[in-house]
Amino acid sequence: MQFAVFKEDIQGETRVAAVPDSVKLLLKNKHSVLVQSGAGRAASIPDAHFEAAGARIVADAGQLAAMSDCILRLRPVSAQDAQSLPEGKALIGFLAPLRQPELAPILARRRITSFSLDAIPRISRAQSMDTLSSMATIAGYRAVLLAAGHLPKFLPMLTTAAGTIRPAQGLILGAGVAGLQAIATARRLGAVVEAFDVRPAVKEQVKSLGAAFIEIPLTENLEDKGGYARQVSAETLARQQTLLHERAKVADFIISTAQVPGKPAPRLITRQMVEDMKPGSVIVDLAAESGGNCELTQAGQVVHHNGVTILGPVNLPATLPLDASRMFARNLANFILEITNEKGFTMDWNNEIFAETCVTCNGEINQKRRTT
């Protein structure tokens, strides 16, 4: 198959869907790769490096699309952009079909075979393809650096000529990949950390990284079959907020990462909780793009409220474009090799990875993909 890699056209996006190493991997498996001129420039990957790996550079985006069998994208394709995709092509990327319900019908009408990387199942066989986890790792790491940059105090304990400076106290909400990476990074920088998650199963992971785990007695199962957190009941949410309110009062920084696939982010930090935090405290809300875990979060903005700084960063992986592109591209190449053979797509509906990531095929919307 001939894959096309485009320069991402969303403002602020610096990553690219392929890197020279992933190009070599695809070529080794008898595929070919076309790359739009300048696609890797923002990630510090010049065209010459793609050419040296065996890719062909194409300047015109329209020509690139026409020549390809499958378009590789990193950011979600909007419904408007989908209208202009060449009919009969294939598309792989973060499509977010649950957040864009209007997208799948458009792709089906245009007979575009499409796969959404955000639907890769959480199974051991798919770990090498898990782009969400790769990007969450970067977000968790960068979130701690953002918090440290806005705090009016050190993260580690220091013994100085002026006396001993106590370490900062951090609170991590959500112990998925981003949360665990935030814990690890904050601990490396010397902060004292505690973490909360609705899934009791992550307790040992949190403790293994040197953080304390905040427990709330639960009467419901809050983990779905894919390992993601479920939406909690109103009663459980109320108990959570009562306990988190007390922990927020002593925190110097909070990093919130809690999200539910396909749904608005759960509201964990209320206005009252913010107003009861210490002056100079910082909140980094990694769920800003899906509505925010904090009531006062504004996506892409820095909000100052009652002496507390609230950051709502979007697309943090794009702030580390070279390694983010390398990680994404390797995951993507592994996924492509899983769902293709020398003739094209395997069309193996018994393959859980193929069945759950395929959004549209043969002019129809795939009903087998995970919708919860």
Catalytic residue numbers, as ranges: 122, 127, 130, 133, 228
- Judging by DSSP bridges, how do beta strands 364-365 and 358-361 pair with one another? antiparallel
**Distance separating alpha carbons of residues 183 and 51, to the nearest angstrom:** 40
* Among 216, 137, 150, CA closest to 168: 150
**Distance separating alpha carbons of residues 186 and 182, to the nearest angstrom:** 6
Is the Cβ–Cβ distance between 293 and 311 less than 8 Å? no
**Distance separating alpha carbons of residues 4 and 301, to the nearest angstrom:** 34
Rg (CA), the chain: 22
Is the Cβ–Cβ distance between 115 and 357 less than 8 Å? yes
**Distance separating alpha carbons of residues 247 and 214, to the nearest angstrom:** 9
177: amino acid identity, one letter: V
User: Which tokens belong to 164?
Assistant: 């001993």
Is the Cβ–Cβ distance between 218 and 198 less than 8 Å? yes
Q: Is 140 exposed, middle or buried (0-12, 13-18, 19+ CB in 10 A)?
A: buried
- Judging by DSSP bridges, how do beta strands 158-160 and 163-165 pair with one another? antiparallel
**Distance separating alpha carbons of residues 7 and 42, to the nearest angstrom:** 9
DSSP symbols for 54-92? TPEEE--HHHHHHH-SEEE-SSPPPHHHHHTSPTT-EEE
What share of residues in the chain are helix, strand, coil (percent, to 5)? 40, 20, 40
